[in-house]
Amino acid sequence: MNTEAPVIQVTGLSKKFGDKLVVDDFDMVVPRGAIYGFLGPNGSGKTTTIRMMCGLLTPDAGTGQCLGFDILTEAARIKAQVGYMTQKFSLYEDLSIRENLDFMARMYQLDKRTERVDEALENLGLSDRQKQLAGTLSGGWKQRLALAACLLHEPKLLLLDEPTAGVDPKARRDFWDEIRQLSAAGVTVLVSTHYMDEAVQCDFIAYIAYGKKLIDGPSAEIPAMIGLHTWRVDGPDLARLETELRATDGIVQVARFGAVLHVSGTDAEKLRAIAEAHQKDKRYHWTEKKAELEEAFIYLMTGAEDNFAPGKAAS
């Protein structure tokens, strides 16, 4: 049994911007070395929540500790051990890769700057490009540079905001390989995203919608925690079948994935009976499958209430 103290433990975090409640009574425990994904639509409060958990933003209500420090009274001590990679590339495009890293090392007031920069260049595969101007880099290389800058001061906690937006699939795979190595070394990683292919890389998932945490837990267990069951259907005229299934009692969700439907419900036996009845039509092929994160995400979001909808104010 893991008895190690959590890296983050917060209770009742809330935050308003104007009359809108952006984060509402948020609780969470994050174990050391975890890759924890915060999944939800744009504007759902993911980044605000992460920043409060790490002492980067003061909550209006709630308490907690991060890296052994109080998020309300010891924020400066937390910040010194956090690396924050923003969605928008925020380094200097008219400086070279090495010059950017050297500048960041100066900002952090690090000792052995040359050695630290050399190590960062080597670790992120940037040595051969170190003289190249940052503004001429592709999205994937800018991503590597931003990550290298975040790691210069050897943070214990890494915050990633939509980290692989706009990069190609290979760059995305390489990036996540780096993140998993950091996690294995004990660095805790918090990832804000609305992309499923990022979310599936995470050990744990918290679904956040319009300021509220809908569910959180180990990624592989989320669909089972909801109690969601799914069948895969392929065949002709799926639009007509989709309309029919949406009106069928016992089906809570029908999602289109290319040339197939994923049909979900929370009553396994009722869903099976529906599938068996439809299998009499030999044009369609029904296969029971394990419900996955994407079905769970769609299901959770369907019932979420938008706190930024007209007339919806914070209480």
CA angle 261, 267, 273 (to 5 degrees): 70
Instruction: Tell me whether residue 272 is exposed, middle or buried, using C-beta atoms within 10 angstroms of its C-beta: 0 to 12, 13 to 18, 19 or more.
Output: middle
Please state, in angstroms and rounded to a whole number, the distance separating the CA atoms of residues 65 and 78: 9
At residue 44, the pLDDT reads 84
pLDDT (0 to 100) of residue 162: 83
- For every residue of 52-116, DSSP letters joined together read HHTTSS--SEEEEEETTEETTT-HHHHHTTEEEE-SS--S-TTSBHHHHHHHHHHHTT-SSHHHH
Q: Can you tell me the mean pLDDT for 190-214? A: 87
The label of the residue with tokens 């990069």 reads 167
pLDDT in tens, 137-180: 988 899 899 999 999 999 999 999 888 777 778 888 888 999 99
Tens digit of pLDDT for each residue in 227-257?
Answer: 999 999 999 999 999 999 999 999 999 999 9
At residue 194, the pLDDT reads: 79
Tokens in use for 295? 């079905």
Q: Is the pLDDT of residue 305 over 60?
A: no
Whether 8-223 and 229-290 share one fold: the answer is no
Q: Could you state, in order of their start, the residue ranges of all structural domains in the chain?
A: 8-223, 229-290
CATH topology (fold) of 229-290: Alpha-Beta Plaits (3.30.70)
CATH number at 8-223: 3.40.50.300
Query: What are the helix and strand counts (H, E) for the chain?
Result: 11, 14
pLDDT at 58 over 90: yes
Predicted confidence band of residue 303 (pLDDT cuts 50, 70, 90)? low
Sign of the dihedral through C-alpha 289, 207, 65, 177:
positive
Mean pLDDT (the chain) is: 89
Cα(160)–Cα(235) distance, integer angstroms: 40
